[in-house]
Amino acid sequence: MSRYTGPVCRLCRAEGAKLFLKGDRCYTEKCGFAKRNSKPGQHGTRRGKLSEYGIRLREKQKLRRFYGIHETQFAEIFDKASGMEGQTGHNFLQLLERRLDNVVYRLGFGVSRRQARQLVCHGHFTVNGRKLDIPSALLKVGDVVAVAEGSRDVATLKENAEASAARSIPAWLSFNVEAMSGTVVSAPVREQIDVPVNEQFVVEFYAR
């Protein structure tokens, strides 16, 4: 499967919003989006009026890039959300948040979702005591994510875990810095998901 290997700040500029794709750097004055808030390319300074379709497309792309998911997998997750009870938009965000790579990021083990995904793929985490290296695995309430025993001396993980103790962990998760583990204590609700998108536009994009 292809993957984007270019500068991630370009994606933020394309969507006209900070997507926090570079971790802590996005909160500093070195943030590429903050320094150059214009669309990439030769005609980046031209901002024409978007059509109704264009508005919904941009919201979909913004959400997909926020979580760093390929189009096919993104659409599959939406289809699953559509078959669940309740509001499709909220279900969709909840499924995206419950992915293992996102939970690892939210717990602070990765400074970005891209790094968290790589750490999961390299087998550095266990779920309920069993090693799991599938970033898209969906967690449920009560699941415990922990750094694998053989990975606790990995410098990146130790540094991130120590730094995460000072960060704000979402209320639907709990974090134990000594055990280097976290627990899904509840399903995330919309107010607990800090995603800068209008999910209803995404629903309307796929319903067209």
Q: What is the mean pLDDT of each run of 10 residues along the chain (208 residues)?
A: 55 60 56 57 62 93 92 96 95 97 94 93 96 97 96 90 79 92 95 92 94
Q: What is the pLDDT of residue 46?
A: 58
Q: What is the pLDDT of residue 1?
A: 42
Q: What is the pLDDT of residue 47?
A: 61
CA distance 27 to 70: 25
Structural domains in the chain, sorted by start: 1-48 (1.10.1050.10), 51-96+194-208 (1.10.1050.10), 99-184 (3.10.290.10)
Q: What is the pLDDT of residue 10?
A: 58
Q: What is the pLDDT of residue 28?
A: 57
Contact 102, 67 (CB under 8 A): yes
